[in-house]
Amino acid sequence: MAIFRLHLPFLDEVKVKGVKTAVKNKVDDVVTRITTGMNPTDVRMLLRDDPVGRPNPRLKPHTESFWFHIKPTYYNQLMDGFYPTFRLGWLSTYFFVFEIVTGIYLMIFYTPSPVVAYENMRNILSNVPFGDLMRDLHKLGAEAMVAVVALHMLRTFVTGSYKKPRQFTWLTGIILLGVTLFLSFSGYLLPWDQLSLWAVTIGASMVEAFPPQIVGTTLNLIVRGAPEFGAGGLLRFYLLHVVLLPAVGVIALSVHYYKVVIHGHSLPPEAEAVGEDTAKRIPMEQRVYFMPKIITRELFYVTGLTGLMILLTALIYNAPPLEAHADSLLTPLHITSPWYFLWLQGLLKIGDKVLWGVIIPTGLIGMILLLPYFEVGPSRRYGARRIGLSAAAMSVAALAVLSFMGSPWYKVTSSPDQEAVAALAPQTHPGPLREAPWDQLAFGTYRARQWDAAPTPALQALLQLFDEELIKAVGPEQRDAEAIMIVEDWQTDLKKITLRVLWTNPDGSPYEFSQSVYLHRDSEYGG
Amino acid sequence: MKGSIVLGTLALLGLMGALLFVTINEVDRMRTAEAAYAARAVETGALEFESRCRSCHGPQGKGTPLAPALNTAALFDGSRLAAAGYAGTVDDFVRGTISAGRPVPSAGTNYPQRMPTWGERFGGPLRDDQVDALVSFVMNWEDRATAEATAAPELPAGEAVGTDITQTLPEGDAGRGQTLAEGPLGCAACHTLSTVGPAWAGEGATPGIGARAAARLDEPGYGGAATTAEQYLLESVVETNTYLVAGFEANIMPGTFGARLTPQDAAHLIAYMLTFN
């Protein structure tokens, strides 16, 4: 008696029908299973875009396969062009997946602890194959995602697509915008260098301002894990970044997408009568089937876009270089939050932290979130929504102005000596001195005012910049200010560059500020 | 449809090409990046050294009366490790000393203070990466310190001061003598407190080395050949075992100064010692 009996039906088939027919039938069967309902002939006809008979086998995957059942079977011809979607929603989804893939690669080499996080980053950038590429892709993808998601929201507002019956779709979209922003923001801290620590500190300081004080203090403790960022804060931000926010994102994205499919893509405002929603009633002659047209195009987008992103990072884009190790005792000059939060930093500069940093942003976000529930005008036509569109235009302009106000160019005062030195050797990025060709930094003492006497072009350019920045920083009343640069041979392959600013105080006493920068032959700040 | 398929295929080829392009350069990129981070560690170490170490070890690590030289061949050729009885590598020695400090003095040294702990886990202010950066910076002295030692051999017989204490020395300058004593010659390392060698400066009722030299000649126990204070000091420097001050043993003071000093340097040194009264 056999304990175990092997039975292959395929062999019976071969016995009955012969090898050739049996193999052909088997292949048909396997292809049909994989495509959930299309045999090889159907696939071939699909690829050729041959006319399709009834019942349409290309609809089968939409009912039977998980991945295709969430895609609409056909689209309205009006939605097939670039306008009115600009593909922004699709792009948002693409970048969400793109960030997950590149993020998982980075996760393999990263430990969220202040003891090793920075060392891990250096390892990723120098000792992990494709580590630098993945970090650049992840960063570029994140910035692109913020921009794309924000533009998607703007587009939805402009075409009035948030109106009935899509109010809840809008609400989940705003949640997704928040998820995107906070994903970017929480990821900012993880490299654990000076830039990440201080940029995130600016944002997190708003939490502390939340009134009353006991609430602010408690919230701050919850967010940072301690009064200041440290082991607890880094771990919390990491968990936010890789667990909580992605989970909220996946759920909100699923609901958002489901709602889009249920209600249909909202048509261009001028395509339907006021107050009507005809997105789900697509006349036969206006249908564009997902298979084959949309699916081939989306596959093309994915490959083309991914290739483009890789080329961009390989040739042009570089994520900000790793700064010095995070140090909570050393605040760098001119630290800014990430560009998509500059408007908040601008708001904070206007005045009271509680009013401008907490109450107004919270109010604005709440208003945007609930917009479709109180803005209930029936018309989606541009001409009928002059107030709404003007408000949108003004908001965009206000964001731009506030972002400028958030930058260091607006209302930031520090001492002119530090300004002039920081122009050459900034504390938040490499800057002109570190990027200058090392060999051209000839030993000697140079006066910035006599920059044209310097022996090498790089030195001349640096000294000229030093001179200009000093004149700009001290203003007309301090004309005797002098900038000096000293280049010394310090060690094997190591030069010491001392930047010195001297002037006479109004009371006649001499003033001196000096900062040294050490530069190694191989440090490669230039690229 | 044909167009779409061609476009899609081209996009796929483009994607693979882009990946291939990155792959080809990847090994070189990793090597450059690794060297760059090692170089930046030296830069960071240099800044840390400037703010935390230079006041005792000197701006160029050449040592001061407060702490030994680091920019010296002795650290890299194993002699300092041997003196400390340390069995590990120089790199570990430097890292260990910076992180954990020195609870007891090494044999033959007499610095007023011990090296404090710098590493965070030993109670100091520096994170591991900062200690590592400092180690990179100190280790980067190796080439030059070693080259300096081999490039500066003992002076040829005619140019060295030798051991004849009756010779006439040129005029000495006390200031330059001080530079020599606290710098390259390292006298100050042992002659600051009286633990290793007699302190030059006066202590309590004991006068300084200048005054002691003159008084020494008349002491009953003095067995040397000097007839003046200058000769006595020169004798002590170049003929180190001729006369031993009570309480100190033979051979602690190196016997090589006669071959290392020029007559002019010896004169500077003596002029400096005579200023301690």
- Measure CB to CB from residue B46 to each of A307, A311, A490 and give the nearest one: A490
- pLDDT at A478 (0 to 100): 67
Determine the 3-state secondary structure of A402 from DSSP: helix
Measure B6 CA to nearest chain A CA, in Å: 10
Q: Looking at the complex, does the CB of residue A298 fall below 8 Å from at least one CB of chain B?
A: no
In terms of average pLDDT, the best of A239-248, B167-176, B191-200 is A239-248
Domain ranges of chain B: 36-151, 174-273
Q: Are B36-151 and B174-273 in the same CATH fold? A: yes
Output the average pLDDT for chain B. 86
Closest chain B residue by Cα to residue A494 = B43
| Residue A457's pLDDT band (cuts 50, 70, 90) | very high
- pLDDT at A187 (0 to 100): 95
Task: Residue A490: list chain B partners with CB under 8 A.
Answer: 46, 60
Can you tell me the ipTM of this complex?
0.86
CA distances to A122, A439, A473 from A494, rounded to whole Å, are 21, 11, 30
End-to-end CA distance of chain A: 74
Q: Which residues of A246-280 are buried (b: 16+ CB within 10 A; e: fewer)?
A: bebbeebbebbbebbeebbbbbbbeebeeeebebe
| Residue B218's pLDDT band (cuts 50, 70, 90) | confident
In terms of average pLDDT, the best of A340-344, B39-43, B220-224, B270-274 is B39-43
> Is the pLDDT score of A199 beyond 70?
yes
> Is the pLDDT score of A253 beyond 70?
yes
Does the domain at residues B36-151 carry the CATH identifier 3.40.50.1820? no
Determine the 3-state secondary structure of B122 from DSSP: helix
- pLDDT at A479 (0 to 100): 66
Mutation pick from B2, B4, B120 vs chain A, by most beta carbons of A within 10 Å, is B4
Does the domain at residues B174-273 carry the CATH identifier 1.10.760? yes
Q: Strands A74-76, A287-289: parallel, antiparallel or unpaired by DSSP? A: antiparallel
| Residue A427's pLDDT band (cuts 50, 70, 90) | confident
- Measure CB to CB from residue B4 to each of A300, A314, A493 and give the nearest one: A300
- Residue A368 has a CB neighbour count (10 Å cut-off) of 18
Contact A519, A503 (CB under 8 A): no
Q: Tokens 């994915």: give the residue.
A: A302
Closest chain A residue by Cα to residue B146 = A492
Tokens linked to B41: 């560690």
| Residue A344's pLDDT band (cuts 50, 70, 90) | confident
Q: How far apart are CA A435 and CA A463, in angstroms?
A: 14
* Stronger pLDDT, A409 or A150, i.e. the higher one: A150
- Inter-chain CB proximity A310 and B32 less than 8 Å: no
> Is the pLDDT score of A184 beyond 90?
yes
- pLDDT at A374 (0 to 100): 93
Determine the 3-state secondary structure of A376 from DSSP: coil
- pLDDT at A140 (0 to 100): 96
Tokens linked to A245: 């926010």
- Render pLDDT for B148-193 as a digit per residue (tens, 0 to 9): 777 655 566 567 787 788 888 888 888 888 888 876 677 776 787 6
Task: Residue B19: list chain A partners with CB under 8 A.
Answer: 310
- pLDDT at A161 (0 to 100): 94
Q: Strands A444-447, A510-520: parallel, antiparallel or unpaired by DSSP? A: unpaired
- Inter-chain CB proximity A496 and B140 less than 8 Å: no
> All domains of chain A, ordered by start, with CATH?
9-69 (no CATH), 83-273+288-324 (1.20.810.10), 416-520 (no CATH)
B62-66, B103-107, B122-126: range with lowest mean pLDDT: B103-107
Tokens linked to A351: 């005045």
Determine the 3-state secondary structure of A275 from DSSP: coil
- Measure CB to CB from residue B22 to each of A125, A128, A133 and give the nearest one: A133
Alpha helices for chain B (secondary structure H): 2-48, 54-57, 73-76, 79-84, 90-100, 128-139, 142-151, 174-182, 209-216, 229-238, 257-260, 263-273
DSSP states of A432-478: HHHHS-GGG--SEEEEGGGGGGSSSHHHHHHHHHHHHHHHHHH-GGG
Measure A99 CA to nearest chain B CA, in Å: 17
| Residue A497's pLDDT band (cuts 50, 70, 90) | very high
Measure A354 CA to nearest chain B CA, in Å: 36
For A239, residues 6+ apart whose C-beta sits below 8 A from its C-beta are A112
Q: Strands A287-289, A444-447: parallel, antiparallel or unpaired by DSSP? A: unpaired
Q: How far apart are CA B16 and CA B276, in angstroms?
A: 79
List of long-range contacts for B185-190, beta carbons under 8 Å, 24+ apart: B185/B257, B185/B260, B185/B261, B185/B269, B186/B63, B186/B69, B187/B269, B188/B64, B188/B65, B189/B63, B189/B65, B189/B68, B189/B109, B189/B110, B189/B111, B190/B108, B190/B109, B190/B110, B190/B252, B190/B253
| C-alpha count within 13 angstroms, C-beta hemisphere, residue B273 | 28
Q: How far apart are CA A339 and CA A181, in angstroms?
A: 11
Q: For chain B, state the CA radius of gyration.
A: 28
- pLDDT at B263 (0 to 100): 87
Amino acid at site B179: T
Amino acid at site B56: C
